[in-house]
A and B are shown apart, each in its own frame.
Chain A
Amino acid sequence: MTAAIEFRGVSRIYGEVRAVDDVSFTVEPGEFFAMLGPSGSGKTTCLRLVAGFDTPDRGQVLLDGADVSSTPPYDRNVNTVFQDYALFPHMTVLQNVAYGPRVRGVGAAERDKHAREMLELVQLGAQGERRPAQLSGGQRQRVALARALINHPKVLLLDEPLGALDLKLREEMQIELKSLQKKLGITFVYVTHDQGEALSMADRVAVFNKGRIEQLAAPRELYLKPATAFVARFVGSANVAEATLAQALGATAPFAIRAENIDVLDATAAAPAGVATAPGTVVAVQFHGAASRWQVTLDAGGTWSALIPESRGVNGRTVGTRVQLAWPRDAAVPLQA
């Protein structure tokens, strides 16, 4: 099967900055593909390269097997949901949704009918005559979605589409987007800096850092087997032992250990077999409801956190108490140096 999107050694350089640096990957048809990374990591530039708002300085971008590196956006079968929605303020909601067919020469009656169907699909059937400014953030988001889907794109690009919504609405929209994608069978490319969003929605996630892909994997693998220190920290909020610290802790290579795998023991307690320990001092305890996050500064350097269920209690330990962090050796994930 031909890949929906393929990047072959793509670079995009702005002056001195390598926004995208020799990136190669493929996105399969019908896949929900997330591009995750902090701001400035190159994920949005990659999205712009797919949409055609930007052209690569080196390498090729292929859509459905065809090189589109220098094809303008209006000749690509790709549509975008913009971060700020980019709804046309001088048009009604219906005119916004009907814009794609309109500029492609579809007659007024037919495109309005089609636009009404799209508005029904996103549950905004009654709002067609209103202006974007009269809608709530969530409704605007749906209009942007309907407008992008009306052209039946092969690929839908979503640039941080839920960033401006509040938490509850964001979670509802995540579920809705995912079911919409299943229903329509369209390839979704979803750019976000929220690892929770990427992990919960995507089939595969590409983690971007400094213009490169650090790791491309399914969400579970990304979380359980981070390849690099960056992925371990960014995706799993894991504790990372870089080379020096790893050596001090008796390991041969850098490793990551997630907070929920770490236990806090009394300073004098003996460690069971197969459990590694590191002495340190409690610097903070944050109560999170079901569990508390303990921040402990290790004697060997660095501050780690341990997630301790409330059921296990605090045992009189508080900030300043000397403790040992303990974790099963097989829970440590070795990282690339």
Chain B
Amino acid sequence: MRAASTFFWRRPYWYLALLLVPPLLWFGTVYVGSLFALLAQSFYRIDDFTAQIVREPTLATYKQLVTQPANIDIVLRTVTMAIAVTIACAIIALPIATYMARYATGRMKAFFYVGVMLPMWTSYLVKVYAWRQLLAKEGIIAWVFGKLGLSGVLDTLLATPGIGGPSLSSSYIGMFLVFVYMWLPFMILPMAAALERVPGSLLQASADLGAKPAQTFRNVVLPLAIPGIAAGSVFTFSLTLGDYIIPSVVGAPGYFIGMMVYTQQGLAGNIPLAAAFSVVPIVLIFIYLSIAKRFGAFDAL
């Protein structure tokens, strides 16, 4: 034992290697390896007659992806939902995260952190199906609206073309609500972490120099929360882009990217198209990160 300790103490590189090799092997083969295998699949194509995969490099599958209007619809629908969910999460999370990081102390703080994380201890599927019940035509939300005499409001909302539907549980509004609920903790936690790191003296300095609370918020708190918002939005954006369970349980029948990947690689057996579809979120996230970087979201890191 002592000899081994001395051996590693004298050779720090061996020690580092011992620490890093297992996770790097795991990460390299299981994660990056399978990702590249997937990407490689997207450059094959499926033979329309035999339904066999033709293993020779081609861009035919990508051509199919970007030229078929139905596929473009799926991408646009998914991206629109992801953007809407991200914006809504950011707006809802900011006051909560600000309170958690800057005002709550002791038990109240613990209560809020546990409160934000508690839903994540419940099965994802249970929550999705529970939401379907809540949003159903006979569900509690419709019932509350009815008791408050606001059924008209709900009906008008559901009559909105594009996002409406026969009930909340079969409309994009309902799907949006479930997405926001599901991913909200992933926005609140990084945002609160970013705000926790802002020294209180910065806020005092701002007030000291004559800034009203709203000005302090706009000029100091918000810019310093941006790295947290950026981190959170990467979660909410990518989770929405890739999810296939929520769109298939709640909401209107239109396909989302994740459902398409699931269907193509499963029922349809079109692995190349499924692979090509799964490249779309990767590309979108990459574009998103470049835009965020350009706006200086990571300058403070």
**Which residues does A use to contact B, with CB under 8 Å?**
51-53, 72-74, 78-80, 82-84, 86-90, 99-100, 102-104, 147-148, 151
Q: Judge whether A151 and B209 touch: CB under 8 Å.
A: yes
Q: How large is the interface on B (under 10, 10 to 19, 20 to 34, 35 or more residues)?
A: 10 to 19
Chain B residues near A83 (CB, 8 Å)?
201
Partner among A52, A72, A74, A86 whose Cβ is within 8 Å of the Cβ of B201: A86
From B175-183, B211-219, B252-260, give the one contacting chain A: B211-219
Q: Judge whether A86 and B219 touch: CB under 8 Å.
A: no
Chain B residues near A52 (CB, 8 Å)?
207-208
Q: Judge whether B224 and A89 touch: CB under 8 Å.
A: yes
Query: With A86-B201, A90-B299 in contact, do A99 and B206 touch (Cβ < 8 Å)?
Result: yes
Chain A residues near B204 (CB, 8 Å)?
51, 53, 73, 80, 82, 86
Q: Judge whether A151 and B210 touch: CB under 8 Å.
A: yes
Chain A residues near B208 (CB, 8 Å)?
51-53, 73-74, 78-80, 148
Chain B residues near A148 (CB, 8 Å)?
208-209
Distance (whole angstroms) from the CB of A85 to the closest CB of chain B: 8
| B202 interface residue (CB < 8 Å to A) | yes
A86 to B206, CA, bound (A): 9
Chain B residues near A88 (CB, 8 Å)?
202, 205-206, 219-220
Q: Judge whether B300 and A100 touch: CB under 8 Å.
A: no
Nearest-CB residue, chain B, relative to A84:
B201
A90 to B210, CA, bound (A): 19
**Which residues does B use to contact A, with CB under 8 Å?**
199, 201-202, 204-212, 215, 219-220, 223-224, 299-300
Query: With A80-B204, A103-B211, A151-B210 in contact, do A90 and B224 touch (Cβ < 8 Å)?
Result: yes
Distance (whole angstroms) from the CB of B212 to the closest CB of chain A: 6
Q: Judge whether B210 and A104 touch: CB under 8 Å.
A: yes
A53 to B216, CA, bound (A): 14
Q: Judge whether B205 and A82 touch: CB under 8 Å.
A: yes
Chain A residues near B202 (CB, 8 Å)?
86, 88
Nearest-CB residue, chain B, relative to A157:
B208
Query: With A84-B199, A84-B201, A103-B215 in contact, do A90 and B207 touch (Cβ < 8 Å)?
Result: no
Chain B residues near A78 (CB, 8 Å)?
208
A292 to B163, CA, bound (A): 86
Chain A residues near B300 (CB, 8 Å)?
89-90
Q: Judge whether B199 and A86 touch: CB under 8 Å.
A: yes
Q: Judge whether A72 and B205 touch: CB under 8 Å.
A: no
30 contacts between A and B (CB under 8 A): A51-B204, A51-B208, A52-B207, A53-B207, A72-B207, A73-B204, A73-B207, A74-B207, A74-B208, A74-B210, A74-B212, A79-B208, A79-B209, A80-B204, A80-B208, A82-B201, A82-B205, A84-B199, A86-B199, A88-B205, A88-B206, A88-B219, A89-B224, A90-B224, A99-B219, A103-B206, A103-B215, A148-B208, A151-B209, A151-B210
A73 to B205, CA, bound (A): 9
Nearest-CB residue, chain A, relative to B201:
A86
Chain A residues near B205 (CB, 8 Å)?
80, 82, 86-88, 147
Top 5 closest pairs, chain A to chain B, by CB: A86-B201, A86-B205, A103-B211, A100-B209, A73-B207
Q: Judge whether B299 and A99 touch: CB under 8 Å.
A: no
A162 to B199, CA, bound (A): 19
Chain B residues near A100 (CB, 8 Å)?
209-210
- Extra contacts, 4 of them, besides A51-B204, A99-B209 (Cβ < 8 A), are A72-B207, A74-B209, A79-B208, A99-B211
